[in-house]
């Protein structure tokens, strides 16, 4: 029997991506100009999955509103994880919705349908041996390192500090329905149930099969990762907009003035308007209904839905949330910059600025490289900002 | 409103198809339901109450057959009882009929039939139909001829479907009530509305008034009143059947409130060009009306009031009329364009107002959500609002889409001096609406005032229709007393109703003379101890006099009306949820009102 149901874990906020997650969970952040979760669903549907159970929680209305009851004719059932107590706890919420073998995937990373198909094909429902995807990565220290012996997992080391490891856990699993009991039997760590803890118990007490796969697998941990994510998506041409020139994708319902210049790769979403003299690209993704004013320059940036860039602005290495309004002559020079997230300072990151949902800059505002602007913040005319601008802040010169 | 479903060719599954279809018609509102199947004798089951009651009824000895019809009834003649539920039968039990609409001459027909010895079991107008068929059959007519003979005697509005024992066919006719056929490779369906069979097929045939349809296992035929076959186009509908799911929300209404950013995007898509400062509404731009008369009912009427205001601002004389009044007390039309605003395109009152206008030679335009609906087909022109299917009886996303579409109409047929600003504001509507959905405090406002004795809503200019709609929404789903007033009217009477137990919702946007006057009205009610809830963009000083504030983003005054409405929708929803009301199917109400 082939597995035809997938449980997608899409309940977490992704706190390290603040301020972009003020109004939506990480799976709904843009990979180029579509939500990450759309790529996950695409991978599942392309691999032949015909039922999706989405575990939603943090700001779940954004997931539900975007996808509704079906995605590409595959029905989606929503189950709610009201407190985010770990990935194992999230999967447990799907218990009443699933009583058969299933795939389990994280909703907040782009995956390829080959990875999904690989795990599905390797999983033997008769034995029910848990199966997971492993793939080769350089940055193993950020993920769960997996050591395999033949097809079997020997150990899993979470976020290893040594660099002897080569393979990571790709976050794509196949289980049978006994996984729910196994999660319940797993001791909680500081109140949380991580799916990887249950997996570790499977490794200790029985067998876990590993499927070595390759293909697109892109994660975003910090806001500036959305820039590299967009670059990867565009480099692979993974957009669903029509291609109008080499690596220039423009939606049918977008308006790009004849006197505007699009430098590939670039994608322009539906309802966008790009004015005369604007130079957009390379490596730019304009989400739905974005407006770029006359003579504005936008390079290596992700501008999410409803963002408005007024005439004469210059944006490099910039990520905007939704409905951000940057007034005439806003300037954001690109990185490198030192960016503080929480108590940690990340040095030499290539980042111009991250601007939270509905933040507004009046004209002639400059944002120093590495600036994080909180949602709904209001930067008045002529402000020079750097570091962190708090949510709802009124900043005057 | 009543709903009809019929199925031919699904041997063994007929009952499931019918009951599933009825559940998909639930959104129309109903108080009883029933089915009739034929194949191995004619069997009928029906009862007052919910579809689940009918399901329970069907559990013992479920009827079977290759042909069947089903019905959800919304009472017009006679209370909701088992007897009054459809299907209705004749004296012999060989004929079963379901009907949507009103048979105006039923009393005289019934008197004649009773005099001739027929026995009636219900109070309905419908029951004359099976008895008329019975008479014709007794005179030797075949089933189809008998059906035609019965229909020829009816006056009024109807969509009728009948089955006759021993004949594996459904006979149907339409006049002024919607009826659509579903065409599949090995089965045929008929229904009042596409969702009833959309899970089985996406190919549909819309019947016109005066047409008959006969469905058999191997053929479907549409004919006119004289029996001549009519060639009908088979259309494909693109609605996703699962769009009728609640996608994680407790109620369709809340789901639809949350779908508004998307509905607005769909409405505006490809139609606005801020760079050029123009809208694209196709041929409608050539209408160049010298005057406009809107006709509409309920929520659509509030949209019409708003639309009339937009046109007047552009210098075109425009008025909004209640369709039911317009149909019987028609004003002079002159050269005016008559615009019917109807979500379903099947609202009987609006259709009859539009027909009256056409009869008098007026040009007509339908502003509707449903492609292929009667209004869309009968009017000279149509503007689709593209909101997608709406299931909750209380209109939400279709109202905001109507407002957006009417802005497009106003911009398209006039030369607005501030077109570019308006277009920019329209383009920002989806995100502004999302901002309200993200941060609204309507739930806590609703909690605080859920037990109030009455609710009043005031607004001026663009916000006056919003006040009316806010009150209607609250009435519809909370069953509480609510009224909307033009701010200036308060002191001319309604102020007498204001107490410390009647919250007043004041919609104040901008900071111009109109806002100042409304703030004056707020002071009037505040002085009488009424709790004040201000819906505002924060530009005026209304917050000083308000107990609670529901904030909307700053925008163009026209767009502000759309946003203020969203806050009031949320207040109505959360109040009804707290009171435990049947939010998606409020008592006594129907989604599309297809009787006058």
CA distances to A128, A167, A214, B481, B530 from A106, in Å: 20, 18, 17, 49, 52
**Could you tell me which of B390, B39, B407, B436 has the C-alpha nearest to residue B193?**
B390
Run of H or E including A339: strand A337-341
* Domains observed in chain A: 5-219 (3.90.550.10), 239-395 (2.160.10.10)
Residues in chain A: 397
According to DSSP, residue A17 is labeled G
Interchain CB distance below 8 Å, A271 and B268: yes
- Residue-wise pLDDT for B550-592, tens only, equals 999 999 999 999 999 999 999 999 999 999 988 888 878 777 7
ipTM of this complex prediction, to 2 decimal places: 0.87
Instruction: Please provide the CATH number assigned to the domain covering B3-242.
Output: 3.60.20.10
Return the pLDDT at A38: 96
- List CB contacts of B112: < 8 A, sequence separation 6 or more: none
Q: So what CATH class is B245-435?
A: alpha beta
Per cent of chain B over pLDDT 90 is 70
Interchain CB distance below 8 Å, B248 and A78: yes
Instruction: Determine contact, residues A88/A104, Cβ cutoff 8 Å.
Output: no
User: What's the start-to-end Cα distance of chain B, in Å?
Assistant: 11
Q: Which A positions 260-279 lie with beta carbon below 8 A of chain B? A: 270-271, 273, 275
According to DSSP, residue B592 is labeled S
Residue A70, min C-alpha distance to chain B (Å) = 6
Task: Establish if A323 touches chain B: CB-CB under 8 angstroms.
Answer: yes
Q: Are strands A131-136 and A167-175 parallel, antiparallel or unpaired?
A: antiparallel
Cis status of the peptide bond prior to B395, with omega within 30 of 0 = no
Q: Alpha helices, DSSP H only, in B209-347?
A: 252-258, 260-268, 298-313, 323-328
Tokens of A282: 């390379």
Residues of A in contact with B248 (CB under 8 A): 56, 60, 63-64, 78, 80
Which of A61, A77, A97, A304 to substitute to test the interface with B, most B CBs within 10 Å? A61
Interface of B with A (CB under 8 A): 240, 242-249, 255, 258-259, 261-262, 265, 268-270, 273-275, 427-428, 430-432, 434-435, 437-438
Half-sphere exposure in the Cβ direction for B237 (13 Å, CA): 28
- List CB contacts of B329: < 8 A, sequence separation 6 or more: none
How far is Cα A218 from Cα B65, in angstroms, rounded to an integer? 56
Run of H or E including B525: helix B513-526
Give the one of A78, A273, A358 whose C-beta lies nearest to B247's C-beta.
Answer: A78
Q: What is the mean pLDDT of each run of 10 residues along chain A (397 residues)?
A: 88 91 95 95 93 94 91 89 90 91 94 92 86 90 87 87 87 92 90 89 88 89 93 92 93 95 96 97 96 97 97 97 96 91 88 96 95 96 94 94
Interchain CB distance below 8 Å, A75 and B242: yes
Residues of B in contact with A270 (CB under 8 A): 265, 269
Task: Give B242's pLDDT tier (boundaries 50, 70, 90).
Answer: very low
**Residue A299, φ and ψ in degrees, nearest 5:** -125, 145
Interchain CB distance below 8 Å, A291 and B434: no
- With CA atoms as reference, the chain A residue closest to B439 would be A23
Instruction: Determine contact, residues B387/B267, Cβ cutoff 8 Å.
Output: yes
Interchain CB distance below 8 Å, A289 and B265: yes
In this model, does residue B241 exceed pLDDT 60? no
Could you give the dihedral angle defined by the CA atoms of residues B258, B260, B263 and B269, in that order, rounded to the nearest 10 degrees?
-120
Half-sphere exposure in the Cβ direction for B554 (13 Å, CA): 8
Residues of A in contact with B256 (CB under 8 A): none
B397-413 helix and B298-313 helix, angle to the nearest 10 degrees: 30
Which of B255, B275, B390, B570 to substitute to test the interface with A, most A CBs within 10 Å? B275
Residues of A in contact with B396 (CB under 8 A): none
Interchain CB distance below 8 Å, B430 and A306: yes
DSSP sequence for B452-482:
-SEEEEEE-TTHHHHHHHHHHHHHHHH--EE
How far is Cα B80 from Cα B285, in angstroms, rounded to an integer? 48
Mean pLDDT value of segment B450-479: 96
Residue B557, min C-alpha distance to chain A (Å) = 19
**Residue A204, φ and ψ in degrees, nearest 5:** -65, -45
Residues of B in contact with A259 (CB under 8 A): none
| Same fold yes or no, B3-242 and B245-435 | no
Instruction: Please provide the CATH number assigned to the domain covering B440-596.
Output: 3.40.50.10490
Run of H or E including B535: strand B532-536
Which of B434, B440, B538 to substitute to test the interface with A, most A CBs within 10 Å? B434
CA distances to A45, A63, B577 from B247, in Å: 18, 10, 18
Q: Alpha helices, DSSP H only, in chain A?
A: 36-46, 60-67, 87-92, 113-122, 179-185, 195-205, 225-235
CA distances to B260, B394, B429, B547 from B477, in Å: 19, 7, 26, 24
Which of A35, A51, A65 to substitute to test the interface with B, most B CBs within 10 Å? A65
CA distances to B8, B123, B530, B555 from B587, in Å: 33, 21, 29, 37
Whose structure tokens read 């009017």?
A: B379
Residue B373, min C-alpha distance to chain A (Å) = 25
SS3 for A117? helix
In this model, does residue B374 exceed pLDDT 90? no
Return the pLDDT at B240: 53
- With CA atoms as reference, the chain A residue closest to B427 would be A289
Mean pLDDT value of segment B218-225: 92
In this model, does residue B249 exceed pLDDT 70? yes
Buried b (16+ CB within 10 A) or exposed e, B133-164: bbbbbeeebebbbbbbbbbebbebbbbbbbbb
Residue B304, min C-alpha distance to chain A (Å) = 27
Give the one of A70, A273, A323 whose C-beta lies nearest to B275's C-beta.
Answer: A273
Interchain CB distance below 8 Å, A306 and B259: no
Residues of B in contact with A75 (CB under 8 A): 242, 245
Cis status of the peptide bond prior to A336, with omega within 30 of 0 = yes
- With CA atoms as reference, the chain A residue closest to B266 would be A271
Domain-wise residue ranges, chain B: 3-242, 245-435, 440-596
pTM reported for the whole predicted model: 0.80
**Could you tell me which of B401, B584, B268, B262 has the C-alpha nearest to residue A68?**
B262
- With CA atoms as reference, the chain A residue closest to B274 would be A273
DSSP sequence for A39-103:
HHHHHHHHTT--EEEEEE-TTHHHHHHHHTTEETTEEEEEEE-SS---HHHHHHTTGGG--S-EE
- Residue-wise pLDDT for A367-381, tens only, equals 999 999 999 999 999
**Strand ranges of the sheet holding B32-39, from the earlier edge strand across to the other edge:** B43-48, B32-39, B65-73, B3-8, B188-191, B180-183, B203-206, B235-236
Task: Give B48's pLDDT tier (boundaries 50, 70, 90).
Answer: confident
How far is Cα A238 from Cα A252, in angstroms, rounded to an integer? 17
Task: Establish if A257 touches chain B: CB-CB under 8 angstroms.
Answer: yes
How far is Cα B342 from Cα B297, in angstroms, rounded to an integer? 8
Interchain CB distance below 8 Å, A291 and B274: yes
In this model, does residue B277 exceed pLDDT 80? yes
CA distances to A244, B34, B89, B160, B292 from B43, in Å: 61, 11, 10, 18, 53
Interchain CB distance below 8 Å, B434 and A322: yes
How far is Cα A357 from Cα A323, in angstroms, rounded to an integer? 6
User: What's the start-to-end Cα distance of chain A, in Å?
Assistant: 66
Instruction: Give the residue numbers of B annotated as catalytic, written as ranges.
Output: 2, 591
Interchain CB distance below 8 Å, A271 and B273: no
- List CB contacts of B505: < 8 A, sequence separation 6 or more: B455, B456, B457, B458, B467, B470, B533, B535, B568, B571
How far is Cα B150 from Cα B90, in angstroms, rounded to an integer? 12
Which of A41, A54, A67, A68 to substitute to test the interface with B, most B CBs within 10 Å? A68
Interchain CB distance below 8 Å, A70 and B428: no
Residue A138 CB: number of other CB atoms within 10 A? 9
Residues in chain B: 596
Q: Which of A161-165, B409-413, B443-447 has the lowest mean pLDDT?
A: A161-165
DSSP sequence for B11-37:
TTTHHHHHHHHHHHHGGG--SEEEEEE
Higher pLDDT, B535 or B75: B535
Where are the strands (E) in A195-289, listed by range? 209-212, 217-219, 243-245, 248-250, 255-256, 261-262, 266-268, 273-274, 279-280, 284-286
Tokens of A210: 């590993």
Residue B26, min C-alpha distance to chain A (Å) = 19
Angle of CA points A191, A194, A196, to nearest 5°:
150
């Amino acid at each position: 029997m082939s597995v035809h149901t997938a449980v997608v874990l899409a309940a977490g906020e992704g706190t390290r991506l603040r301020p972009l997650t003020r109004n939506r969970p990480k799976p709904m952040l843009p990979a180029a100009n579509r939500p990450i979760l759309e790529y996950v669903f695409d991978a599942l549907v392309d691999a032949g999955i015909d039922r999706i159970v989405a575990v939603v929680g943090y700001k779940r209305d954004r997931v539900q509103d975007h996808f509704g009851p079906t995605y590409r004719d595959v029905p989606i059932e929503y189950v709610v994880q009201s407190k985010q107590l770990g990935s194992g706890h999230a999967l447990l919420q799907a218990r009443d919705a699933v009583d058969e073998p299933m795939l389990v995937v994280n909703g907040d990373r782009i995956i390829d349908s080959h990875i999904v198909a690989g795990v599905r094909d390797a999983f033997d429902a008769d034995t029910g041996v848990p199966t997971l995807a492993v793939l080769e990565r350089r940055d193993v220290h950020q993920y769960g390192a997996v050591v395999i012996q033949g097809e079997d997992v020997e150990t899993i080391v979470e976020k290893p500090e040594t660099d002897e490891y080569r393979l990571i856990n790709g976050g794509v699993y196949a289980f049978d329905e006994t996984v729910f009991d196994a999660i319940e039997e797993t001791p909680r760590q500081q109140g949380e149930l991580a799916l990887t803890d249950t997996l570790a118990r499977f490794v200790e007490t029985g067998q876990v099969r590993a499927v070595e796969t390759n293909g697109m697998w892109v994660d975003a941990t910090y806001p500036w990762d959305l820039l590299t994510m967009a670059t990867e998506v565009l480099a692979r041409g993974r957009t669903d907009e029509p291609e109008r020139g080499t690596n220039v994708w423009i939606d049918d319902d977008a308006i790009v003035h004849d006197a505007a210049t699009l430098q590939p790769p670039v994608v322009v979403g539906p309802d966008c308007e790009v004015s005369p003299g604007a130079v957009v690209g390379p490596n730019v993704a304009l989400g739905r209904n974005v407006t770029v004013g006359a003579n504005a320059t936008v390079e290596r940036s992700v501008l999410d839905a409803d963002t408005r860039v007024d005439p004469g602005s210059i944006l490099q290495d910039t990520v905007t949330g939704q409905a951000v309004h940057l007034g005439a002559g806003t300037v954001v020079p690109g990185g490198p910059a030192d960016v503080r997230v929480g108590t940690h300072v990340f040095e030499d990151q290539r980042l111009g600025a991250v601007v939270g949902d509905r933040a507004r800059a009046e004209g002639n505002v400059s944002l120093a490289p590495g600036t994080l602007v909180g949602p709904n913040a209001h930067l008045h005319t002529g402000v020079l900002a750097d570091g962190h601008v708090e949510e709802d802040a009124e900043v005057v010169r | 409103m009543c709903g009809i479903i019929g199925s031919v060719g699904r041997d063994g599954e007929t009952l499931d198809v019918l009951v599933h279809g009825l559940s998909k018609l639930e959104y129309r509102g109903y108080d009883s339901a029933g089915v009739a199947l034929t194949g191995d004798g004619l069997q009928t089951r029906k009862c007052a109450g919910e579809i689940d009651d009918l399901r329970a009824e069907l559990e013992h000895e479920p009827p079977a057959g290759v042909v069947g019809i089903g019905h959800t009834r919304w009472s017009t003649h006679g209370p909701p009882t088992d007897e009054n539920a459809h299907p209705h039968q004749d004296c012999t039990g060989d004929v079963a009929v379901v009907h949507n609409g009103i048979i105006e001459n039923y009393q005289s027909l019934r008197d004649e039939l009773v005099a001739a010895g027929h026995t009636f079991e219900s109070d309905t107008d419908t029951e004359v139909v099976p008895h008329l068929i019975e008479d014709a059959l007794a005179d030797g007519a075949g089933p189809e001829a008998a059906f035609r003979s019965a229909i020829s005697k009816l006056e009024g509005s109807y969509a009728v479907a009948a089955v006759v024992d021993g004949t594996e066919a459904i006979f149907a006719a339409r006049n002024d009530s919607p009826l659509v056929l579903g065409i599949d490779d090995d089965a045929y369906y008929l229904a009042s509305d596409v969702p009833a069979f959309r899970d089985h097929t996406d190919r549909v045939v819309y019947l016109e008034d005066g047409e008959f349809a006969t469905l058999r296992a191997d053929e479907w035929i549409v004919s006119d009143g004289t029996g001549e076959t009519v060639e009908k186009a088979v259309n494909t509908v693109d609605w996703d059947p699962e769009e009728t799911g609640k996608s994680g929300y407790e109620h369709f209404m809340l789901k639809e409130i949350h779908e508004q950013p998307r509905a607005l995007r769909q409405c505006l898509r490809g139609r606005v060009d801020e760079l050029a400062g123009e809208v694209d509404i196709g041929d409608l731009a050539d209408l160049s009306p010298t005057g406009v008369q809107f006709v509409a009912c309920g929520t659509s009427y509030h949209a019409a009031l708003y639309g009339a205001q937009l046109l007047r601002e552009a210098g075109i004389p425009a008025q909004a009329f209640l369709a039911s009044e317009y149909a019987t007390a028609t004003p002079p039309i002159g050269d005016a364009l008559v615009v019917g605003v109807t979500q379903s395109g099947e609202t009987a009152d609006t259709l009859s107002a539009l027909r009256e206008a056409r009869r008098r030679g007026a040009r007509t335009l339908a502003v509707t959500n449903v492609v292929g609906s009667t209004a869309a087909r009968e009017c000279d022109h149509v503007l689709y609002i593209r909101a997608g299917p709406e299931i909750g009886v209380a209109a939400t996303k279709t109202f905001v889409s109507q407002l957006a579409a009417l802005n497009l109409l106003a911009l398209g047929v006039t030369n607005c001096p501030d077109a570019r600003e308006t277009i920019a504001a329209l383009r920002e509507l989806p995100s502004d609406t999302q901002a309200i959905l993200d941060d609204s405090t309507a739930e806590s406002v609703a909690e605080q005032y859920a037990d109030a004795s009455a609710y009043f809503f005031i607004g001026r200019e663009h916000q006056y229709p919003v006040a009316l709609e806010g009150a209607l929404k609250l009435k519809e789903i909370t069953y509480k007393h609510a009224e909307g007033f033009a701010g200036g009217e308060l002191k001319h009477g309604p102020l007498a109703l204001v107490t410390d137990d009647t919250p007043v919702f004041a919609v104040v946007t901008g900071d111009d003379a109109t806002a100042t006057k409304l703030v004056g009205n707020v002071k009037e009610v505040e002085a009488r101890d009424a709790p004040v809830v201000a819906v505002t963009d924060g530009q005026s000083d209304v917050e000083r006099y308000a107990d609670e504030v529901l904030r909307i983003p700053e925008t163009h005054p026209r767009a502000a009306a759309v946003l203020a409405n969203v806050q009031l929708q949320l207040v109505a929803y959360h109040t009804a949820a707290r009171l435990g009301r049947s939010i998606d199917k409020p008592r006594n109400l129907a989604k599309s009102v297809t009787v006058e």
